[in-house]
């Protein structure tokens, strides 16, 4: 069996001395506690404000970065559109030069069967296409057939037979309109 304390008498614990403050001391303690509480609250408010400022700065930077990305994207789209427009202008100019060369070749009575070959043999970008065609007629007179009448200068159709229907059922004008639409040109 374990030994239990059977002593029934209570022995008082050594008592701690009771500290009492004067009203002036109470006032000073209250002032110190209030000052320290105010300091802690001020430090907590400053820390919270610093967190808020950091968050707002990060958000503002993110918004600015998104705006810059949008501006850069729009700038790239504008550059691409300018490049596409420049390419379209070059294609249009090349097509106009080729059309002028074909017209000059037909006026000089080039055989329609070899018109593609004749286009490859002359400089279609030359300022004086008539001189190019004349030089070609001197070098290769076999390309020219003398039995085709020259087209009138302002005629819409280079060759009167050009407006005949082909097996597809479309006239040259309709085929030209289709080609223009396929190239993305607006046809009125």
3-state secondary structure at position 144: strand
Mean pLDDT, all residues of the chain: 80
Cα–Cα distance for residue pair 102/129, rounded to 1 Å: 10
- pLDDT given at position 148: 46
Q: Assess whether pLDDT exceeds 90 at residue 37.
A: yes
- pLDDT given at position 18: 83
Cα–Cα distance for residue pair 150/173, rounded to 1 Å: 20
User: In this structure, what is the dihedral angle of CA atoms 21, 22, 24, 29, given to the nearest 10 degrees?
Assistant: 10
For 103, residues 6+ apart whose C-beta sits below 8 A from its C-beta are: 151, 158
DSSP 8-state symbol, 167: T
CB 118 within 8 A of CB 105: yes
- pLDDT given at position 79: 92
Q: Please report whether residue 6 resides in a domain.
A: no
For 2, the token pair is: 């374990």
pLDDT band at 88 (very low <50, low <70, confident <90, very high): very high
**What percent of the chain lies above the pLDDT cut of 70?**
79
Q: Please report whether residue 11 resides in a domain.
A: no
Which residues face 144 on adjacent strands?
A: 110
Q: Please report whether residue 95 resides in a domain.
A: yes
Q: Structural domain tally of the chain?
A: 1
Q: Assess whether pLDDT exceeds 80 at residue 187.
A: no
Q: Please report whether residue 77 resides in a domain.
A: yes
User: By C-alpha distance, which of 92, 95, 144 is closest to 118?
Assistant: 144
For 65, the token pair is: 């970065």
pLDDT digits (tens, 9 = 90+) for 121-180: 888 888 888 888 889 888 888 888 764 444 444 444 445 455 444 455 677 778 878 887
**Domain encompassing residue 60:** 24-148
Mean pLDDT across 37-54: 93
- pLDDT given at position 10: 58
- pLDDT given at position 85: 92
Q: Assess whether pLDDT exceeds 90 at residue 8.
A: no
Q: Please report whether residue 50 resides in a domain.
A: yes
Q: Please report whether residue 12 resides in a domain.
A: no
Mean pLDDT across 35-63: 93
pLDDT band at 11 (very low <50, low <70, confident <90, very high): low
pTM: 0.41
Q: Catalogue the long-range contacts made by 101-106 (C-beta closer than 8 Å, 24 or more residues apart).
A: 101/129, 101/132, 102/158, 103/151, 103/158, 104/129, 104/130, 104/132, 104/133, 105/133, 106/148, 106/150, 106/151, 106/158, 106/159
Q: Please report whether residue 31 resides in a domain.
A: yes
pLDDT digits (tens, 9 = 90+) for 93-103: 989 888 888 88
Q: Please report whether residue 18 resides in a domain.
A: no
Mean pLDDT across 9-24: 75
């Amino acid at each position: 069996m374990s030994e239990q304390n059977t002593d029934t008498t209570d022995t008082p614990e050594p008592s701690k001395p009771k500290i009492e403050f004067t009203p002036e001391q109470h006032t000073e303690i209250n002032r110190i506690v209030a000052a320290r509480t105010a300091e802690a609250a001020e430090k907590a408010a400053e820390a919270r404000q610093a967190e808020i400022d950091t968050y707002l700065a990060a958000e503002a930077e993110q918004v600015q970065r998104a705006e810059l990305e949008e501006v850069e994207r729009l700038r790239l789209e504008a550059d691409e559109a300018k490049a596409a427009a420049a390419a379209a202008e070059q294609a249009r100019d090349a097509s106009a030069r080729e059309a002028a060369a074909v017209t000059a070749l037909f006026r000089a009575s080039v055989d329609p069967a070899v018109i593609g070959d004749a286009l490859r043999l002359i400089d279609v970008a030359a300022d004086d296409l008539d001189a190019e065609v004349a030089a070609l007629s001197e070098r290769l007179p076999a390309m020219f057939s003398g039995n085709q009448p020259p087209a009138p200068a302002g005629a819409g159709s280079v060759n009167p037979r050009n407006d005949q229907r082909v097996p597809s059922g479309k006239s040259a004008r309709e085929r030209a309109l289709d080609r223009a639409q396929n190239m993305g040109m607006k046809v009125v």
